[in-house]
């Protein structure tokens, strides 16, 4: 029995996004690929040959590519149309997306279209010898890990949380590319009226491998500069807890917590955040947590790997300088 697996491949500026790399390398590993046929689906207005090469280096032998000017920006209606067309032909058993705004937008549409199960934000998966598949995902703000086991489902749609599986080594291959033409959709209900470019190219907070987070201890954007200095040492993304967002210091997309984004970085610096349950729920899958707080009884220390008691305005600049020295070595 061999499954067919279809993976949505996201990319930016010609570079395959890390969450897609994680999914692809996991699925192209020997224990998975021996009993599964994996296809990658990539679409856009322009796709460079180097991008296809990257996918092959991630172990994927089969690529389906759709190129059309209408795909210059995300349009869930067109993406749904692309997927239904390919799914009806390829008949995959498992369809994977990253748990990004694209995956969260498209998965419910496809799940509803096929009246099939959708499993979102998985943090672990296991292919069993009996051909069942087990997923684990956090629920109730990360306080409980739910285990879901499926067997012989006709279709499953899955989103995977970024920075959970890691990018593993795999056998590089020269992929076979199948180019598909996009038939125009008549009477489209979804129209892009304007594209506003971001002022910066900050990695989405839920995709970042290293994060520096600030909380109520910071009262202005100027105060946050010391956190940006620390972030620059590692190329980290700077985010904040809800009070920081409510004060307008950081934009809503950089909010960490139950009412913001759940993050799973390899390393996070938590600065001036007391550790309310809403925030802690958002960092439940972080690798190493280093917290700085002047209150030795702050709740955040209970969920930290390392804690520093002191004034963030004094500690952070010292930490930044010391880390710069270490990075130079």
Instruction: Give residue-wise pLDDT tens across range 275-315.
Output: 988 899 889 888 999 999 999 999 999 999 999 999 999 99
The answer to whether 60 and 38 have CB atoms below 8 angstroms apart is yes
Q: How far, in whole angstroms, is CA 129 from its chain's centroid?
A: 28
3-state SS assignment for residue 8 = strand
Q: Sort 277 into a burial class: Cβ within 10 Å, 0-12 / 13-18 / 19+.
A: middle
**Distance (Å, whole) CA 254 – CA 261:** 8
The CATH architecture to which 3-180 belongs is 3-Layer(aba) Sandwich (3.40)
For the domain made up of 205-328, give the CATH fold.
Answer: Rossmann fold (3.40.50)
Q: Where are the domains of the chain?
A: 3-180, 205-328
Spatial distance between the Cα atoms of 202 and 177, rounded to a whole number of angstroms: 31
For residue 183, what pLDDT band results from cuts at 50, 70 and 90?
confident
Please name the residue ranges forming H helices in 126-282: 225-234, 242-246, 277-280
Do 3-180 and 205-328 share a fold?
Answer: yes
- pTM, 2 dp: 0.78
DSSP 60: -
String of DSSP letters for 246-258? HTTSS-GGGBBST
Distance of alpha carbon 117 from the chain centroid: 21
Mean pLDDT value across residues 31-48: 88
pLDDT in tens, 236-259: 999 999 999 999 999 988 999 888
What is the predicted pLDDT for the residue at 116?
94
Question: What sign does the CA torsion over 181, 186, 189, 194 have?
Answer: positive
**Dihedrals φ, ψ of 84, to 5°?**
-65, -35
């Amino acid at each position: 029995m061999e499954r067919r697996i279809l993976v949505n491949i996201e990319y930016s500026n010609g570079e395959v996004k890390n969450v897609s790399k994680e999914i692809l390398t996991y699925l192209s590993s020997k224990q998975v690929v021996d009993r599964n046929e994996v296809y990658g689906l990539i679409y856009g207005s322009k796709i460079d040959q180097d991008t296809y090469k990257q996918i092959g280096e991630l172990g994927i032998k089969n690529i389906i590519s759709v190129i059309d000017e209408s795909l210059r920006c995300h349009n869930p209606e067109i993406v749904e149309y692309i997927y239904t067309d390919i799914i009806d032909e390829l008949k995959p058993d498992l369809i994977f997306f990253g748990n990004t705004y694209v995956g969260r937008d498209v998965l419910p549409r496809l799940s509803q279209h096929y009246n099939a199960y959708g499993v979102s934000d998985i943090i672990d998966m296991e292919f069993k010898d009996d051909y069942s598949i087990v997923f684990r995902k956090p629920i109730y703000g990360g306080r409980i890990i739910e285990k879901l086991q499926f067997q012989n489902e006709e279709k499953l749609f899955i989103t995977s949380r970024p920075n959970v599986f890691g990018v593993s080594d795999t056998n590089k291959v020269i992929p076979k590319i199948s180019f598909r033409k996009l038939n125009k959709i008549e009477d489209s209900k979804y129209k892009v009226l304007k594209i506003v470019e971001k002022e910066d190219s900050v990695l989405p907070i839920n995709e970042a491998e290293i994060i520096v987070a600030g909380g109520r201890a910071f009262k202005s954007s100027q105060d946050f500069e010391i956190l940006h200095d620390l972030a620059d040492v590692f190329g980290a993304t700077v985010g904040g807890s809800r009070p920081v967002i409510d004060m307008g210091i950081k934009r809503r997309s950089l909010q960490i917590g139950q009412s913001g984004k759940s993050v799973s970085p390899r390393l996070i610096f938590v600065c001036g955040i007391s550790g309310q349950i809403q925030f802690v729920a958002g960092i439940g899958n972080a690798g190493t947590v280093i917290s700085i707080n002047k209150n030795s009884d702050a709740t955040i220390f209970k969920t930290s790997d390392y804690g520093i008691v002191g004034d963030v305005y004094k500690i952070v600049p010292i930490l930044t300088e010391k880390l710069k020295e270490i990075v130079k070595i």
